[in-house]
Amino acid sequence: MADTPDVGFARSRRASLIGAVFLMATSAVGPGFITQTATFTATMGAAFAFGILASILIDLVVQLNIWRVVTVTGMRAPEVANAALPGSGYLLAVLIIIGGLTFNVGNIAGAGLGLNALLGLDTTWGGLISAVIAAGIFSSRRAGVAIDRIIIVLGVLMMAMTVFVAIASNPPVGEALRQTVMPDTINFATITTIVGGTVGGYITYAGAHRLLDRGLGGVDNVETVSKAALRGILVTGLMRYILFLAILGVVASGVIIDVSSQSANPAAQAFQAAAGELGLRAFGLILWAAGITSIIGAAYTSMSFLSAFRPGISEGIRNRATLVFIAISLIAFVSIGTPPAALLVFVGGFNGLILPVGLTLFIYVAWQRSDLMHGHRYPRWLLVSGAVVCALTWYMGFNAIGPIFAFLTPSA
């Protein structure tokens, strides 16, 4: 029996919501996510648990506010910003494109680390080969569909493998839980970096823009969209905490993890220590696949912000701009010379510094521009929590500028 129009619409909407959540989650759970968590767990131990909790709460408030404003207004992020404060959309677009470029340099570095763990290939050559492959996949729609399916399988494998390592490494769970709420130390640079790597730069807008593309804008869809955002953040938050426990167990056992040398690959070292050579190779494949998809996703989404400068830009021009963007990212990766692991940590921090600008614009719209919200009654708790988190991201960013840029010149 054929579906009724209502049933067909419900299925289509559910598929679009799952797609948006998946886009947000895969953007957040990339090479940067993995390397940042491994690096900070290795350097801070159980005290990093508080940073994870803080990042989850901040991510939740940021995502709920931005997804709601984009959905209710029915406009993309630059359009919302320009409508609220003329000209601010151009600033936001420039910042997102710059932040996306740094993200993509890190993604290429992450793919290089993946091939290093998988095949023992030099990270620079691994990054170069990966960027060329990513460009080829993007140019081939059939290959793009295939890689989307492959990454789902590899994502499930990553979760299963991380749970296995978390159990095998026998982490001090009690100490981790204590320091989640009563940390021995609080490091603003780590929190800013983790937040930036999860919802900084283009990531926070990627899922919301996908929903608009699927016709899910408007007040009628706002509650459903909010639930989707909530699920996405909770899934990535749970994944981050399990990864933290897996690496904490390795660190607590006395294994010394290299986080700063040119060949450092912190997460790979942890997985090798817990699961042996097979664990190292499997992790390399997963990290490489995450890097490849992140290269494509960061480039394509960043270039979607070109519409702020050229409304109605054709898909062909945007696709060519995406390939140029990948090429520029590759040149920057080869030229910088910063160790790949340190580079992956830096790009999260840099996008964490950009985050408050866009968040401020969206909180302003939520508070003061009811004309753009079509009479929608914005939840008071979300307004207040959004304003508090906005102020907090500015404060943390100001205090973290020095430490974040220091990641570009790590000690030998």
pLDDT mean across residues, the chain: 84
Q: What is the pLDDT of residue 18?
A: 59
Tokens of 378: 């914005």
| Best CA proximity match to 48, nearest among 57, 59, 34, 36 | 36
- What's the average model confidence in pLDDT over 311-319? 82
Q: What is the pLDDT of residue 227?
A: 79
Whether the pLDDT of residue 124 is over 80: the answer is: yes
Whether the pLDDT of residue 412 is over 50: the answer is: no
Whether the pLDDT of residue 24 is over 60: the answer is: no
Lowest-confidence pick of 174-178, 237-241, 323-327: 237-241
E-assigned strand segments in 136-285 = none
CA distances for 220 relative to 21, 64, 324, 375, angstroms: 19, 16, 39, 12
Q: What is the pLDDT of residue 327?
A: 94
Separation between Cα atoms, residue 236 and residue 24, nearest integer Å? 9
76 — phi, psi (to 5°)?
-70, 160
pLDDT > 90 in the chain, percent: 29
Q: What is the pLDDT of residue 292?
A: 86
Q: What is the pLDDT of residue 302?
A: 87
Whether the pLDDT of residue 9 is over 60: the answer is: no
- What's the average model confidence in pLDDT over 172-186? 91
Domain ranges of the chain: 17-408
Render pLDDT for 371-397 as a digit per residue (tens, 0 to 9).
888 878 889 999 999 999 999 999 999
Q: What is the pLDDT of residue 410?
A: 57
- Whether 216 contacts 136, CB under 8 Å: no
Identify the band that residue 362 occupies on the pLDDT scale cut at 50, 70 and 90.
very high
Q: What is the pLDDT of residue 332?
A: 92
Plot region of 312 (φ>0 → left; ψ -120 to 50 → alpha; else → beta): left
Whether the pLDDT of residue 95 is over 60: the answer is: yes
- What's the average model confidence in pLDDT over 176-202? 88
pTM for this predicted structure:
0.83
Identify the band that residue 115 occupies on the pLDDT scale cut at 50, 70 and 90.
very high
pLDDT > 70 in the chain, percent: 88
- Which top CATH class is 17-408? mainly alpha
Render pLDDT for 35-67 as a digit per residue (tens, 0 to 9).
888 899 998 999 999 999 998 899 889 989 998
Lowest-confidence pick of 109-113, 280-284, 354-358: 280-284
